[in-house]
Amino acid sequence: MTHELSRRTFLKAGGVLVVVAAAPGAVIGAITDATSAAAPFPALDPTALATWLTIHADGSITARSGHVELGHGVQTGLAQIVAEELDVSVGRVTMILGNTNETPDQGTTAGSTSIRVAGAQLRQIAAEGRAALLKLASDQLGAPASQLTVTDGVVTSGTRKVTYGDLVKGRVLTAVAPITVSGYGGFRMSVTGSAKPKSPSQYATVGKSIPRVEIPDKVTAKATYVQDVRVPNMLHARVIHPKGIGSTLVSVGSFVPAVPGARAVTKGNLVAVVAEKEWDAIKGAQALQVTWSDWNKLPPSDGVYAALRKLPAQEKVQMNVGDANAALASAAQTITATYQTPFENHGMIGPSCAVADVRSDGSVTVWSATQYPQGLQKIVATQLGVSPQSVQVVRFEGAGCYGRLSANLDDAATEAVVLSQATGRPVRVQWTRADEHRWEPHGPGTVHDLSAGLAPDGSVLAWKHEAWMPTNSDSTMLGAALAGKPLNGTGTGGWTGPDLYTFPNNFEVAHGLPELGAADSPYGFGLRTTFLRSPGQYQITFAQEAFVDEIAAKAGQDSLAFRLQHLTDKRAIAVLQAAARAANWDSRPSPKPGASAKNGVVTGRGIALVLRDGTYAAGVAEVSVDPSTGKVQVQRVTVAQDSGLIINPSAIEHQLESAVIQTTSRAMMEQVTFDTANVTSLDWSSYPILTMADAPKVQTVLINHPEIPATGVGEPAVNLIAPAISSAIFDATGVRIRTLPLLPAAVKAALA
């Protein structure tokens, strides 16, 4: 490995390095000084190590990532990875996340990629940084780099020592290292170089439960959420969205009653009220007389599953092995079942909010909680017809969003941009609760037809699964679309998730559907649907894992043993066995002896397995069911997970707790309702979510495989909950319920 060191001006092209900087803030200063009218915010060079990493004279380290904190702990996990490679304590590392002026584009923070993808890139960057520092130290200490050791930023050769801080003190350096970045900003982006990252056997910081670094600010009101952003001369805005999904503006009248201080702003079909005081904007939005055209092209939520089957579909074959139809025809016995899942909300506890400042000099700053700052930067640039280098996106945390601000980057930001341009002032858009419940791009409802053919011994000869799924990846920007400049599109649904079980004849196909009502909407979108935590796979896994349980019951076999019989993947087998062990799995066929849909409260257990983006998870749900009321209580959920190398056990445990409780809510209670015009579930009483009273106890088992690269932890367990609960209800009652949510009325009706 060779590193050529030179004293070049910091930030010159081609350099890679490690800085320097006597004064913290010099990096930001350098970039700001370089601004010009033509390109207020110059693009970053991802092949320059200095873009990613700064070594400060006091020994502290700043590392920058385009990924963002969502409350999943990535700020801490990435700091651990950087600290590990640089051989410093984690407290020395500060992560800067999600500011297009400072942080390189590592793609969207979604799909469990923060550790798996962005973390792997930062690991290589930090290893390059360490190599550059060791070269400096080698020169200073007069010993080859291979003979140096580093402990918390102190480089030692025999009795001689020098700190990282001393190595860079008072100097501006660039170290030229052969970093190559391909696919910059994309899902396939890679960062390669000549430094070799540590072996996991040497890890001291990775693998420890380091307390999350952003939590103290969150419990002392020092954290800045996007909702807290206030800029000078800022107007507060409330947007009045269309009546129906495809309604267009007929007229804007006056405020009744009058609201002094509020004024209406209209651009195309984007109608808003702005005011100096937030309360005046709220009252104004309630008082403004707005008339919309009627639009009634949506199939209502009652009967939506039949409507989904009738939409024009794009067929996407996931699996085609053997001849499933022929094997089904010749099977000793066959089972068929239909599973259905409703449209769901992300349900951000704080509705969408963003601030935009479109300035007269052509520069634009957007403050947003988006999951992808560079993506939003490009969209806003397109929306305004300017270059991306005219737009800065400063990202702050918002309320947990679970995919809502990923493909669909931030509707409120695109509205704020329109309103700022129209008013010539910075504008803060805050959606109401009803705005969010109605206009968030939802999780799509789905339908699944499954068939299985069994051999006389109960083993599976044939498996067939057809799924009808609207798009999962709406990326329409509401503000841009309403203002007359639609951006991006809606796409069609597709399959998500690999097969784990080995069946000799297997046919799986997704009927990829457009959005409901989209064909008849002037905006190009219908009932918008986009990524919701483990998108697509949540629905697929519910149908498949519950159906596996049905087959096992039909074959008279224990559900765990039946799965093991059809598995060859050792990691899948191991997580299943670990979950079963921790939950004291009671091996026997379902339903349970004494199961009843009639008499008194009964209990049962169900199990499920998933592989998502490299992570294996298995879960056991234990429930009680009261047939007289239909009330199902999820008592406890046990999850075992193997995500390869574990970075931070505590953070993973909390992610699993989060996945279990949030998804228990989705499975048990949640469904978006809509009529022919628009969504009708507009608040927490018409779209209730799980309360603390009904939260299950959560037990977790983590399986560490340091030799296997780390994979995601926020999504996999999400997939286990609905099938495990539904199978537990079957175990307790002998009745299979195949449509979510598992509300008391539906359960009671099914048991009757």
Partner 1 sequence: MADESTRPADGDPGTPSNRTRIAVGAGAAVVAAAAVAGVVEVVRNSQNIPAGSIRVNGATHQVQSAPDTPLLYVLRDEMGLRGPKFGCGLGQCGACAVLVNGREVRSCITAWSAVKEDVTTLEGLPARWAQKKGVAAQASPALHPVQQAWIDQQVPQCGYCQSGMMMVAVDLLERVPNPTEAQIRDAYTNTPPSPHLCRCGTYMSIVAAVQRAAKAMG
Question: Left (φ > 0), alpha (ψ -120 to 50) or beta: where does 127 sit?
Answer: alpha
405: contact with partner 1 by CB under 8 A:
no
**Minimum distance from CB of 308 to partner 1 (Å)?**
24
**Minimum distance from CB of 264 to partner 1 (Å)?**
12
Distance CA 107, CA 584 (A): 42
Q: Which of 72, 284, 107 is nearest to 189 (CA)?
A: 107
- Selected binder of partner 1 within 178, 185, 211, 589 (CB under 8 A): 211
- For partner 1, give the closer residue by CB, 194 or 680: 680
Which pair of structure tokens corresponds to residue 586? 């009671």
223: contact with partner 1 by CB under 8 A:
yes
434: contact with partner 1 by CB under 8 A:
yes
The DSSP result for 201-231, as a single string, is: GG-SSTTS-PPPTTHHHHHTT-S-BGGG---
275: contact with partner 1 by CB under 8 A:
no
Q: Is 631 exposed, middle or buried (0-12, 13-18, 19+ CB in 10 A)?
A: middle
Helices (H), 298-454: 304-310, 324-330, 373-384, 411-423, 433-439
Q: Which of 401, 392, 407 is nearest to 359 (CA)?
A: 392
Distance CA 124, CA 192 (A): 7
Decide if 417 contacts 541 (C-beta within 8 A). no
Distance CA 30, CA 33 (A): 5
- Selected binder of partner 1 within 446, 451, 665, 726 (CB under 8 A): 665
Helices (H), 142-181: 164-168
**Minimum distance from CB of 109 to partner 1 (Å)?**
13
1: contact with partner 1 by CB under 8 A:
no
* Distances 56 to 61, 154, 161, 168 between C-alpha atoms, Å: 6, 14, 18, 7
- Selected binder of partner 1 within 374, 414, 432, 446 (CB under 8 A): 432
Distance CA 238, CA 271 (A): 9
**Minimum distance from CB of 15 to partner 1 (Å)?**
38
* Distances 471 to 221, 424, 492 between C-alpha atoms, Å: 38, 37, 4
279: contact with partner 1 by CB under 8 A:
yes
Q: In what order do the strands lie in the sheet with 160-163?
A: 149-151, 154-157, 160-163
Contact map string, positions 283 to 322, toward partner 1, x by CB under 8 A:
--xx-xxxxx------------------------------
231: contact with partner 1 by CB under 8 A:
no
Cα Rg of the chain (Å, integer): 28
Helices (H), 334-397: 373-384
Q: Which of residues 317-376 bind partner 1 (CB under 8 A)?
A: 347-351
218 Cβ contact list (under 8 Å, min separation 6):
none
Query: Considering CB under 8 A, how many residues would be counted as binding partner 1?
Result: 75
- Selected binder of partner 1 within 662, 671, 727, 733 (CB under 8 A): 662
- Selected binder of partner 1 within 228, 302, 520, 586 (CB under 8 A): 228
**Minimum distance from CB of 515 to partner 1 (Å)?**
20
**Minimum distance from CB of 354 to partner 1 (Å)?**
14
- For partner 1, give the closer residue by CB, 13 or 219: 219
- Selected binder of partner 1 within 680, 702, 708, 744 (CB under 8 A): 680
Which pair of structure tokens corresponds to residue 139? 């020169």
For residue 443, give the DSSP letter. B
Distance CA 329, CA 286 (A): 62
Decide if 428 contacts 234 (C-beta within 8 A). yes
Q: Is the dihedral of CA 216, 221, 226, 229 positive or negative?
A: negative
For residue 488, give the DSSP letter. S
- For partner 1, give the closer residue by CB, 584 or 686: 686
- For partner 1, give the closer residue by CB, 107 or 350: 350
- Selected binder of partner 1 within 56, 92, 123, 238 (CB under 8 A): 238
**Minimum distance from CB of 259 to partner 1 (Å)?**
10
- Selected binder of partner 1 within 397, 474, 508, 731 (CB under 8 A): 397
**Minimum distance from CB of 431 to partner 1 (Å)?**
10
Question: Left (φ > 0), alpha (ψ -120 to 50) or beta: where does 261 sit?
Answer: left
654: contact with partner 1 by CB under 8 A:
yes
741: contact with partner 1 by CB under 8 A:
no
- Selected binder of partner 1 within 30, 321, 682, 703 (CB under 8 A): 682
442: contact with partner 1 by CB under 8 A:
no
- For partner 1, give the closer residue by CB, 56 or 236: 236
**Minimum distance from CB of 306 to partner 1 (Å)?**
25
Q: Which of residues 686-715 bind partner 1 (CB under 8 A)?
A: 689-693, 695, 697-698
476: contact with partner 1 by CB under 8 A:
no
- For partner 1, give the closer residue by CB, 562 or 674: 674
13: contact with partner 1 by CB under 8 A:
no
For residue 714, give the DSSP letter. S
The CA-CA-CA angle for residues 587, 589, 592, to 5°, reads: 90
- Selected binder of partner 1 within 684, 707, 749, 752 (CB under 8 A): 684
282: contact with partner 1 by CB under 8 A:
yes
- Selected binder of partner 1 within 75, 112, 420, 678 (CB under 8 A): 678
Which pair of structure tokens corresponds to residue 465? 């699964």
Q: How far apart are the first and last CA of the chain?
A: 73
661: contact with partner 1 by CB under 8 A:
yes
- Selected binder of partner 1 within 642, 657, 715, 731 (CB under 8 A): 657
**Minimum distance from CB of 436 to partner 1 (Å)?**
9
Decide if 125 contacts 83 (C-beta within 8 A). no
Distance CA 429, CA 239 (A): 7
Distance CA 289, CA 251 (A): 8
Distance CA 283, CA 416 (A): 19
- Selected binder of partner 1 within 13, 23, 37, 219 (CB under 8 A): 219
23: contact with partner 1 by CB under 8 A:
no
242: contact with partner 1 by CB under 8 A:
yes
220: contact with partner 1 by CB under 8 A:
yes
- For partner 1, give the closer residue by CB, 436 or 508: 436
**Minimum distance from CB of 740 to partner 1 (Å)?**
17
Tell me which stretch binds partner 1 (CB under 8 A): 277-285, 312-320, 556-564, 724-732.
Answer: 277-285
Distance CA 444, CA 343 (A): 5
Contact map string, positions 93 to 112, toward partner 1, x by CB under 8 A:
--------------------
Q: Which of residues 511-570 bind partner 1 (CB under 8 A)?
A: none
Q: What is the largest CA-CA distance in the chain?
A: 84
398: contact with partner 1 by CB under 8 A:
yes
- For partner 1, give the closer residue by CB, 285 or 308: 285
433: contact with partner 1 by CB under 8 A:
yes
- For partner 1, give the closer residue by CB, 47 or 643: 643
Contact map string, positions 40 to 79, toward partner 1, x by CB under 8 A:
------------------------------xxx-------
> How far from the centroid of its chain's Cα atoms is residue 192's Cα?
26
Q: Are β-strands 505-513 and 314-321 bridged in parallel, bridged antiparallel, or unpaired?
A: antiparallel
